[in-house]
Amino acid sequence: MISHRLARWVYVIATGVGLVCLFMLPAHAAAEEVFPKTGWQDRPDPYADPEAIAGGQVSIDLGPSPKSFNYYLDTSFQGSLIFGNLYESMLSMNPSNFEYEPAVALKWSISDDKKTFTFNLDPAARWSDGRPITAHDVKWTYDAIMDPEHLTGPHKIDLERFDPPEVIDERTIRFQAKTVHWQNLGAAGGFLILPKHAYEALDFNKINFEFPVVSGPYRLGRYEEGIFLDLERRADWWAKKYRRHRNTNNFDIIKFKFFAERENALEAFKKGTIDIYPVNTARFWVKETKGEKFEKNWIVKQKIYNNHLGLQFQGFAMNMRQAPFDDVRTRKAINMLVDRRKMNRTIMYSQYEMLNSYYTDLYDRRHPCPNIPIEFDKAAARKLLQEAGWRANPKTGILEKGGLQFTIRFLTRDASTEKFLSIFAEDLKDVGIELVIDRKDWAAWAKDMDEFNYQMTWAAWGAPLFKNPESSWSSKEADRRGGTNITGFKDAEVDRLIEEQKSIFDVQKRNAIYRRIDQIIYKEYPYVLLWGLDYTRLLYWNKFGMPEWVLPKNLTDYSSLSYWWLDPDSVADLADAVNNGYTLPPRPSVVRFDDVFER
């Protein structure tokens, strides 16, 4: 699972949605600061290659089929990627300097007290049925998200800081914030807008797989449940004319293929039915990338160093809302019973770095991380468990407390996790704890997570561009169903620090607060932190044109869908090589964005 906030922003950056025209602001904006600043121009995306060619089809593994394509109802990475191709927000973000830029809104203004945000929409902005995108659409989308009956929990977090927006006229809408927050502009201007006229008569909680009216560069095409989804590039996309979009969104069809198991996706890739395969499993990278197709460069294997956001964090999440994980001593003991280094060495070929922070990029030589790494230590774990009141039954050897045995039900959705859990289970058994694996498909797993119906699970979160710990660590988010505070973490000092950072616009001062938050969370052990990578592992068939840096700075492997293209010469060369057993010229096995882009 990936953080829904990161997924959305990464996708918005990756698609490069943004435009500019001249538009006069209403008179009330005179005393306000107006954006974009004077002199801003609609320039080509700096990461797009002028040699890009439009056309063709690309297929890519998207993992398990999401429970909904409606990102507001399913905050999965899959839902975010699909929905972000269909709909747009009022603001976009420059992919190189990460400053806000026009998208559906041409201009916006911020009042001196930083509480009033006024957006002026582009008169050219159109839905796919030809109707204009209006301020009424923006307000309807806000109201739909905030409706208590709608299952849009995580998306309410940012928007509940505002009063319901005021429609000034067809192309002008104003948001009034209740409090000052450094993220208010992004919250008000960054949510994806839906067409009121298409959906207002429907039950929002049942808008899942049919989206006949869109505004983005793609529309839904063929869909076979659990198998694949085609996105079709729109020749009539209203924003296509703007310079920012040149040489991006090049594929006529993006085919997302769904696989519940990674092994099956890899086999499909090797057979050529998938074109691009992001590798998330060390064994695949080390052991499954050999043979003629790799040796003759028909398939390209690349490490791409482009991430300046720190390592994503992943780990075994513990549900702190109920026993046994409502006791910090027990949680710390469980941390000591996960032999991370053994797992890394024996299963993952020592590919990973061990984590001891939730925000690894906040630490450097000037700010060394004080978090003491948790090492595997059964003796120390036994002592903590005894302090927490657990005693071994003399007949069974199983730990008991209050007449209940210590049994952990580990909720999982991926068969590949079980080899890690088998190591974990043996070490737990040795100290008197039973591990039961509760394996479910993606939809059932997501439902249990939404309802807090789990004890432990494996969760991974991306490193966000803009850090805001509220959704994952605030006490008020601990009981929000469908939210991202999946452990139920609550801490009064963290809550106070979260409130303090809201009105701080200096990123360095916020980072200092986040380091304090990180250190508090770390000592509460809501997760067993595992490991991370500082590069992207990517496999693809050697038929694509792409920028020399392969993937832009700080963007995921799925940004290939926005910046790559089918190169006719490479397609022909690959077909000839496969048919006749030829070897293709190699591509770089390691790409470092900083080196290539600067050059």
DSSP 474-536: -GGGTT-TT-S-TT----HHHHHHHHHHTT---HHHHHHHHHHHHHHHHTT-SEEE-EE-SSE
Residue pair 380/334 in contact by the 8 Å Cβ criterion = no
- CA proximity to 152, closest of 75, 90, 214, 222: 75
* Strand (E) or helix (H) holding 460: strand 456-461
Residue 311: the pLDDT is 76
The runs of H, that is alpha helices, within 223-272 are 262-270
Residue 556: the pLDDT is 83
Longest CA–CA separation in the chain, Å: 82
Between CA 238 and CA 330 the distance in angstroms is: 56
- 10-residue stretch averages of pLDDT, the chain, 599 residues long: 31 30 34 86 94 97 93 91 97 89 97 97 98 98 97 92 98 97 96 98 97 98 96 97 96 96 95 96 93 98 88 92 97 98 95 93 93 97 98 95 95 90 97 96 89 95 82 93 92 97 93 97 98 93 97 90 97 97 97 90
Between CA 105 and CA 115 the distance in angstroms is: 18
- CA proximity to 215, closest of 198, 239, 183: 239
Residue 76: the pLDDT is 86
* Strand (E) or helix (H) holding 304: strand 299-305
Residue pair 181/470 in contact by the 8 Å Cβ criterion = no
Residue 553 per-residue DSSP state? T
Task: For residue 130, give Cα distances in angstroms to 124, 125, 195, 236, 354.
Answer: 10, 9, 11, 9, 52
* Domains of the chain with bracketed CATH: 4-22+31-42+75-203 (3.90.76.10), 277-307+535-598 (no CATH), 313-532 (3.10.105.10)
- Please give the single-letter amino acid code of residue 251: F
Residue 31: the pLDDT is 58
**Residue 11, both tokens:** 């996708």
Q: Cα angle at 12 between 7 and 18, to 5 degrees?
A: 170
Residue 8: the pLDDT is 33
The CA dihedral of 51, 54, 58, 62, to the nearest 10 degrees, is 90
pTM of structure: 0.84
Strand 407-412, strand 456-461: pairing: parallel
Residue 307: the pLDDT is 82
Strand 313-318, strand 456-461: pairing: antiparallel
Task: For residue 276, give Cα distances in angstroms to 83, 366, 541, 561.
Answer: 20, 39, 7, 10
**Residue 441, both tokens:** 């498909």
Give me the sign of the Cα torsion angle 527, 7, 227, 348.
negative
- CA proximity to 212, closest of 228, 227, 191, 234: 234
Residues of the chain by 3-state class (helix, strand, coil), percent to 5 = 35, 20, 50
- Please give the single-letter amino acid code of residue 83: F
Between CA 194 and CA 8 the distance in angstroms is: 15
